[in-house]
Homo-oligomer: A and B are copies of this chain.
Amino acid sequence: MAPLNADLLQVTLNESAAAPDFDNLVFGQKFSPHMLIVDWNNKTGWGVPHIKPYGPLSLSPAAPALHYASGLFEGMKAYRSADASGKIRLFRADKNMERMNRSAARAGLPTFDGDEFIKLIKALVRLDRDYVPHGEGQTLYLRPTLIGTPDTLGMGVPTEAQLFCICSPVGNYYSSGSGSKPVSLLARTDVVRAWPGGTGCYKLAANYAGATQPAMEALKHGYHQVLWLFGPDRQLTEVGAMNLFVVFRDQSADGETTNYEIATAALDDGTILPGVTRDTILSLLRAYQQGQVAIDGLPKPERITVAERKVTMDEIMDKAEKNQIAEVFGSGTAAVVCSVDKIGYEGIDISIPIQADGMGVFMRTMLREVTGRQWGAIASPEWSTVC
């Protein structure tokens, strides 16, 4: 069984690649000229990695990827430095590879050496470097994917698979010049994203199938995204395809904020996707509390508590009424961080404080600190690698 081996890479150039076009970038609608693809089967293991022109896959109509959702993916980005070097970086790619292998094991799909796959992704990004946008907040979004492909309807572990990566120049979810665009959420009690014993903590294709229609219905009701609740106590879990952070504030008798608690759902019950941006935010905040990193703009470390814990809709309603919610934001690879200004719940709208630029103190600071490290403006050698 051959392991995945980046040294075997073969490249077929796209001779008819369109010139880069970074106008009107909508997420995931334009693609760079090349894609990476590696076949696997259960007899010989991983085959020769190929970089070839972006184009359709030839896939059996019986493939488990189509019938049994035998597939999983990652979301990554290539970031072009704003300085004269123009260096292109990946951010915490090792975390994506770890998660992708956990997902593969859960789905009965083959695992692989993540370092080899990172080498291949870097080769792809280097080849398509002209398609990494230059604008602020713009990136080349990378979509590593693994699917089960044999020509059989059997429900067993797939005997063949394809690992591939496609690349899409994407725009700025936020816009730091004119301020951020906060989102409104519809908290739904009738649909449930994930369950203990299910696959919510793995990045399987299957987790997204049930979300499409509820998200459409939220849009029709005037909300941007779904806030996924769980359990009889209606815990806040995730929002759309992002992790969720709630910042609570304690106040003195005269209404001044004394302390902050920034809370996000814990990972212990298997329903929460362990987001890389979520982990980055928690890591930065804890390093700040411990004096290991300086972060301008945050309250003093001793005034901040960082908690991975259950937050319920009762707590949200209670603390919103008492003016004890400072801000709410989502985090994910696509949007980095994204403020929430409203939560619709059982027919009422709960207003969430938002500043004039569409952000809050924690969201704005995390946006700067995370993107600074992603684009290389803030040195972060342990997290950032150059392609």
Contacts and interface: CB of A to CB of B under 8 A. Distances in A.
How many copies of this chain does the complex contain?
2
B153 A61 contact: no
A154 B164 CA distance: 18
Nearest to A27: B154
Contact of A209 (B27, B62, B153, B206): B206
B198 A70 contact: no
Interface string A188-218: 0111100111110000111111111101100
A125 to B, nearest CB: 17
B205 A197 contact: no
Interface stretch (A51-59, A293-301, A306-314, A373-381): A51-59
A345 to B, nearest CB: 16
Interface stretch (A28-36, A81-89, A171-179, A260-268): A28-36
A155 to B, nearest CB: 7
B66 A61 contact: no
Contact of A212 (B145, B156, B164, B190): B156
Contacts of A330: none
A197 B190 contact: yes
Interface of A: 26-29, 31, 35, 54-62, 65-71, 73, 105-108, 141, 143, 145, 147, 151-158, 164, 166, 168, 189-192, 195-199, 204-213, 215-216, 240-241
Given A67-B71, A69-B69, 8 more contacts: A29-B153, A31-B62, A56-B60, A66-B71, A108-B216, A155-B211, A192-B198, A206-B210
